[in-house]
Amino acid sequence: MNIVQRSTIKGEGSPYSPVLYTPLPCGGVRGRVFLLTMIHEFQLRISPREAYDERGILSYLQREKGIRADAVQVLKRSIDARQRTIFVNLTVRAFVGEKPQDKLFDPIYYPDVSEAEAVIVVGAGPGGLFAALRLIELGLRPIVVERGKDVRERKKDIARIRSEQCVDAESNYSFGEGGAGAYSDGKLYTRSKKRGDCDKILRVFVQHGANPNILVDAHPHIGTDCLPRVIENMRKTILSRGGEVHFQTKMTSLIVENDQVRGIRCGEREFLASSVILATGHSARDVYRYLHSEHIEMEAKGLAIGVRLEHPSHLIDQIQYHSKEGRGKWLPAAEYSMVRQAEGRGVYSFCMCPGGVVVPAASGPEQIVVNGMSPSNRGGRWSNSGMVVEIRPEDIMPASLLTTSEAKRTDIIALETSDLNLSPSDMQDDILRPLLLQEQLERMCWLQGNRRQTAPSQRMADFVNNRLSADLNESTYAPGLIASPLHFWMPKFITTRLQEGFKAFGRAYHGFLTNEANMIAIETRTSAPVRILRQRETLQHVRIRGLFPCGEGAGYAGGIVSAGVDGERCAEMAAEKTGSE
């Protein structure tokens, strides 16, 4: 017989009181328990050493609680490093006289949909893949078209960015199976409050081969070394259940009749269906331009632009774990999350990658874009994060409309035309201004990087003091760095706020503002520059029926999990629409 009891152990600073054992129907008297078999749930606050593995937790339970358990299962885990003494908070299930179930959750059943009605999914990033799987669950047949290559082939093109300094415009860190998330840290936490939806995304990942630890950790991550295999397995599910996946197939236009979508064109090829989930990500600028040229309703969106900041990971460990020893043997590489207001705009860290690498994430020629990722063990010698400044559409003004003194102001960013092939109508266009700014800065960065993928870089303290760095620290950025006065050529709107933010972070975290850290330019792809407008209830485009703008590119997600959640929601709405027709 299984008896599940909820018990809590009072730990330092814990608000919980111990819950006494209740009498067992299988024998025993109040206060003294004669166990046959039992399962207890505990909330523990214990040292990192004891939390490290099952043996440590078992011995803690026996010593502190008098429970001689045979096994424990960790249900939730988080690290509390706010004080000098670090604790690990655990929710565990202790098994006395029996074994934990092998099955962590009921796997999702994917029926055969080979004969079912089709729904087109454009893009095989997290938004598109989760949409496709959910469509199958709901009995519909996804036809996925993806402009890039499958996740293995794609890897070769990514390697060429380093070896040949060239970016394939259809196969890179943004485009290809798995989308922008495929070669990433695979951090799976989100600020979304819809916890239930997020848990489902994690379970789908586990069902396709991700480490079950992601169901347990407060800040789960898969790691760039494991993610491609999981993505491949998701594709295999889609294919084995009767769905279709077409690589190197780029949607070039929508087929629309009387404001109802009828399908898509991919060059000469047509795919027909009355629902299209458009999950093309935030780097598909050709898609935005196409939608704009067809007067498909969108709006300009705020974004954030800055740099990658790369510190030695032992320094971040020392700061975050309040110890000269760093993380020691029992703790993972430390994370941080920082935010400040500077001159009316947010300055914040973004997509922090402990023990990771900085990667060249451009999606076309004549651009430099940086991003970060980590392997599953986060064991590298360097830790990086984006450090970005919030920019609103109204902050961006065409340079041609500004006087010389206005162009130098720190509350405006001037959009230049000289390096960009922009028509005057582009320049006046409110909707595309944030996108044009991204393009301008990425190209500027490429010019500063010697027209290669060598990224302009400056030591952090030099930047704050407006000094060119004579040399740079070692870096994980494989194409190489070039010393450059970022404080001089990046827009003042960004540099003045970054300088202010860095000073504040340095005051709050002693040792953080240092010349041991490199700033690497430029981080521009933090979110979509426009939003494709959709109805709140049906998730269909505000005018075009059957068109479901989805995921990060449409402006409704920011990260792998939220893109996955949005993909599922769009699939559900597409199924509802199909059912009602």
Binding positions for ligand FAD, rule: CB under 6 A: 122-128, 145-148, 173-176, 179-181, 183-187, 250-251, 279-281, 284, 287, 351, 359, 361, 371, 373, 551-553, 557-561, 563
Least distance in angstroms from the C-beta of 371 to ligand FAD: 4
Prior bond of 522 cis (ω within 30°): yes
Least distance in angstroms from the C-beta of 18 to ligand FAD: 38
Least distance in angstroms from the C-beta of 526 to ligand FAD: 9
Least distance in angstroms from the C-beta of 229 to ligand FAD: 16
Q: Long-range contacts of range 505-513, CB-CB < 8 Å, 24 or more positions apart? A: 505/338, 505/340, 508/338, 509/319, 509/320, 509/336, 509/338, 510/319, 511/315, 511/318, 511/319, 512/311, 512/319, 513/460, 513/461, 513/464
Tokens, residue 218 = 């407060």
Contacts of 332 (CB under 8 A, 6+ apart): 79, 354, 378
Facing residues of 456 across strands? Answer: 482
As a whole number of angstroms, the distance between CA 21 and CA 451 comes to 70
Tokens 């060429």 identify what position? Answer: 160
Residue whose CB is less far from ligand FAD, 184 or 349: 184
Residue whose CB is less far from ligand FAD, 38 or 230: 230
Residue whose CB is less far from ligand FAD, 126 or 449: 126
Contacts of 492 (CB under 8 A, 6+ apart): 408, 409, 410
AA letter at 47: S
Give the β-pairing of 455-459 and 481-483. Answer: parallel
Residue whose CB is less far from ligand FAD, 317 or 523: 523
Residue whose CB is less far from ligand FAD, 134 or 147: 147
Least distance in angstroms from the C-beta of 554 to ligand FAD: 8
Beta strands in 182-338 (DSSP E): 244-246, 253-257, 260-266, 269-272, 276-278, 298-300, 303-312
Run of H or E residues at 414: strand 413-415
Least distance in angstroms from the C-beta of 440 to ligand FAD: 20
Helix pair 227-240, 151-164: axis angle to 10 deg: 140
As a whole number of angstroms, the distance between CA 304 and CA 527 comes to 7
Least distance in angstroms from the C-beta of 264 to ligand FAD: 8
Least distance in angstroms from the C-beta of 287 to ligand FAD: 5
The closest of 114, 241, 142, 236 to 574, measured between CA atoms, is 142
- Degrees (nearest 5) of the Cα angle 120, 125, 129? 55
Helices assigned H by DSSP within 21-150:
48-51, 54-65, 126-137
Answer for the pair 514, 316: CB distance below 8 angstroms, yes or no.
no
Tokens 């109805």 identify what position? Answer: 535
DSSP secondary structure code for residue 37 in this structure? S
Least distance in angstroms from the C-beta of 251 to ligand FAD: 4
Least distance in angstroms from the C-beta of 221 to ligand FAD: 7
Prior bond of 86 cis (ω within 30°): no
Contacts of 82 (CB under 8 A, 6+ apart): none
Least distance in angstroms from the C-beta of 290 to ligand FAD: 8
Least distance in angstroms from the C-beta of 412 to ligand FAD: 29
Residue whose CB is less far from ligand FAD, 469 or 476: 476
Residue whose CB is less far from ligand FAD, 52 or 336: 336
Least distance in angstroms from the C-beta of 557 to ligand FAD: 5
Residue whose CB is less far from ligand FAD, 299 or 419: 299
Residue whose CB is less far from ligand FAD, 99 or 194: 194
Encode 189-199: b = buried (16+ Cβ within 10 Å), e = exposed.
Answer: bbeeeeeebbe
Residue whose CB is less far from ligand FAD, 33 or 557: 557
Least distance in angstroms from the C-beta of 445 to ligand FAD: 16
Residue whose CB is less far from ligand FAD, 61 or 532: 532
Run of H or E residues at 145: strand 141-145
Q: If you write DSSP's letter for every residue of 267-313 in order, what string do you get?
A: TTEEEE-S-EEE---TT-HHHHHHHHHTT--EEE--EEEEEEEEEEH
AA letter at 60: Y
Residue whose CB is less far from ligand FAD, 58 or 432: 432
Residue whose CB is less far from ligand FAD, 61 or 145: 145
Residue whose CB is less far from ligand FAD, 146 or 317: 146
Answer for the pair 41, 7: CB distance below 8 angstroms, yes or no.
yes
AA letter at 13: G
Query: What's the residue count for the chain?
Result: 581
Residue whose CB is less far from ligand FAD, 121 or 138: 121
Least distance in angstroms from the C-beta of 472 to ligand FAD: 21
DSSP secondary structure code for residue 382 in this structure? E
Tokens, residue 240 = 């084995």
